[in-house]
């Protein structure tokens, strides 16, 4: 399996993604990145109080050239869930076109990941050589959903809630093969499956710079998960989410072309990349994911080494009616280890 990894600007003495990939580059196929000052599915890159940090842009471009020289494909993220009033505007279309032209001339560009049908259509019309990829935030998980936008996208991120549904992945892969498309998934999302407030949260993230400049409601967390896990009775839900353990990656070879690793905001991208490239992780499982909910389990870790041998087989063949099953609750007791405050 080969992976797509997310770019983040290193700070201080932090090692760069290029240095990490110099030792793990063989298993990485793509680097995805946001552009400074452009909204995306995570915090804006290289922006301070609305002004673009030009040094950050220069560093990004230099790193992109380095990745290109390493033979890696470059994937520009235009995957914000909301561009506000500009979402269908000529202003946004012109800005995207100018940015893509700039990258093609300076660093090279292979893929653009977006959840905007307007941006996807623009790219198909004016940059047909690019792979236009549907963002995971679109939540496309059926053949019918793929068909609706088949003229807009060349590749698809599958809705993460179906990561453990191998029958569905096989169906989606067969459709992609028959229509000249490719299938991809996100391996290490820490998000709740079927999160009730995902759209609300994604829209806030898309406007994070503006949100930071306002006085917000102090006692409301926009991400449901942190508050939800505050109740120990809900901890079992962690096991019922979409993440894939590094030890189980090899099972997905027949289904997806690459696996995306969330490393844009992660505190230790080397740890994540090394774990998935080697297919082994000896540590607290939430620490691999983004977001990482380790602090929610106050004094406990979820020991990845203690998962039962039948974990993958059971969780990919069950009927997903978690409310009527006790398997994950039993596994939680096995993997939950007290290590102290």
Q: Is pLDDT of 61 > 70?
A: yes
CA distance 284 to 303: 5
Assign residue 3 a region (left: φ > 0; alpha: ψ between -120 and 50; beta: otherwise): beta
Q: Is pLDDT of 219 > 90?
A: no
Helices and strands (H, E) in the chain, number of each type: 13, 12
Q: Give domain status of residue 111, yes or no.
A: yes
Least confident of 34-43, 289-298, 319-328: 34-43
Q: Give domain status of residue 329, yes or no.
A: no
Tell me how far CA of residue 25 lies from CA of 52, 76, 163, 313, in angstroms.
Answer: 30, 19, 25, 30
Torsion 69-73-75-76 (CA) sign = positive
Contact 229, 221 (CB under 8 A): no
Torsion 162-163-167-169 (CA) sign = positive
Domain that holds residue 185: 3-282
pLDDT in tens, 113-163: 999 999 999 999 999 999 999 999 999 999 999 999 999 999 999 999 999
User: What pLDDT, on a 0 to 100 scale, did the predictor assign at position 208?
Assistant: 83
Average pLDDT, the chain: 93
pLDDT in tens, 116-129: 999 999 999 999 99
Q: What integer is the mean pLDDT of 186-196?
A: 96
Q: Give domain status of residue 181, yes or no.
A: yes
Contact 40, 4 (CB under 8 A): no
Burial of 23 (0-12, 13-18, 19+ CB in 10 A): exposed
Token pair in block for residue 165? 């549904």
Burial of 44 (0-12, 13-18, 19+ CB in 10 A): buried
Listed in sequence order, the residues at least 6 apart from 102 whose beta carbon sits closer than 8 Å to its beta carbon are none
CA distance 198 to 216: 19
Q: Give domain status of residue 93, yes or no.
A: yes
CA distance 187 to 148: 25
- Total structural domains within the chain: 1
Place 218 in a pLDDT band, splitting at 50, 70 and 90.
low
Cis peptide before 133 (omega within 30 of 0): no
Tell me how far CA of residue 210 lies from CA of 6, 81, 88, 234, 280, in angstroms.
Answer: 24, 15, 20, 33, 40
Q: What integer is the mean pLDDT of 310-330?
A: 96
> Helix, strand, coil: what percent of the chain each, to 5?
45, 15, 40
The β-bridge relationship of strands 111-114 and 3-6 is: unpaired
Token pair in block for residue 178? 């028959």
pLDDT in tens, 81-101: 999 999 999 999 999 999 999
Report the largest interatomic distance among the alpha carbons of the chain, rounded to a whole angstrom.
58
Q: Give domain status of residue 215, yes or no.
A: yes
Q: Is pLDDT of 220 > 80?
A: no
Q: What integer is the mean pLDDT of 317-326?
A: 93
CA distance 238 to 258: 24
Q: Give domain status of residue 273, yes or no.
A: yes
User: What pLDDT, on a 0 to 100 scale, did the predictor assign at position 56?
Assistant: 87
Task: Single out the residue of 322, 280, 326, 327 nearest to residue 304, CA to CA.
Answer: 280
Q: Is pLDDT of 66 > 90?
A: yes
Token pair in block for residue 281? 């992780």
Identify the DSSP state of 279. T
Q: Give domain status of residue 309, yes or no.
A: no
- The b-or-e profile of 179-209 (16+ CB within 10 A means b, else e) is eebebbbbbbbbbbbebeebeebbebbbbbe
Q: How far is CA 99 from the centre of its chain?
A: 22
CATH number of the domain encompassing residue 45: 3.20.20
Q: Give domain status of residue 87, yes or no.
A: yes
């Amino acid at each position: 399996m080969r992976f797509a990894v997310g770019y983040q600007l290193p700070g201080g003495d932090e090692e760069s993604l290029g240095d990490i990939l110099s030792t793990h580059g063989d298993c990485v196929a793509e680097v995805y990145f946001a552009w400074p000052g452009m909204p995306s599915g995570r915090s804006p890159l290289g922006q301070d109080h609305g002004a673009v940090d030009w040094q950050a842009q220069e560093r990004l471009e230099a790193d992109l050239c380095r990745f290109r020289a390493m033979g890696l494909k470059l994937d520009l993220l235009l995957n914000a869930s909301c561009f506000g009033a500009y979402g269908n505007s000529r202003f946004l279309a012109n800005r995207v076109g100018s940015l893509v032209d700039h990258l093609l001339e300076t660093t090279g560009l292979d893929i653009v990941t977006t959840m905007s049908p307007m941006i996807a259509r623009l790219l198909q019309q004016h940059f047909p050589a690019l792979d236009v990829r549907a963002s995971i935030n679109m939540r496309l998980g059926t053949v019918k959903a793929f068909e609706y936008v088949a003229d807009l996208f060349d590749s698809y991120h599958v809705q993460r809630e179906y990561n453990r549904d191998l029958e569905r992945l096989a169906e989606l892969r067969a459709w992609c093969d028959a229509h000249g498309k490719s299938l991809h998934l996100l391996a290490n999302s820490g998000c709740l499956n079927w999160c009730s407030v995902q759209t609300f949260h994604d829209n806030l993230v898309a406007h994070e710079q503006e949100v930071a400049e306002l006085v917000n409601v102090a006692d409301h967390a926009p991400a449901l998960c942190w508050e939800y896990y505050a109740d120990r009775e809900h901890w079992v839900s962690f096991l019922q989410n979409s993440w894939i353990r590094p030890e189980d990656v090899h099972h997905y070879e027949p289904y997806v072309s690459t696996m995306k690793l969330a490393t844009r905001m992660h505190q230790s991208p080397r740890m994540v990349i090394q774990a998935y490239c080697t297919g082994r992780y000896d540590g607290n499982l939430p620490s691999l994911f983004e977001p990482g909910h380790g602090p929610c389990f106050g004094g406990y870790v979820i020991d990845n080494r203690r998962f039962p041998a039948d974990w993958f087989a059971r969780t990919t063949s069950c009927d997903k009616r978690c409310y009527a099953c006790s398997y994950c609750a039993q596994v939680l007791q096995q993997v939950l280890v007290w290590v102290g405050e």
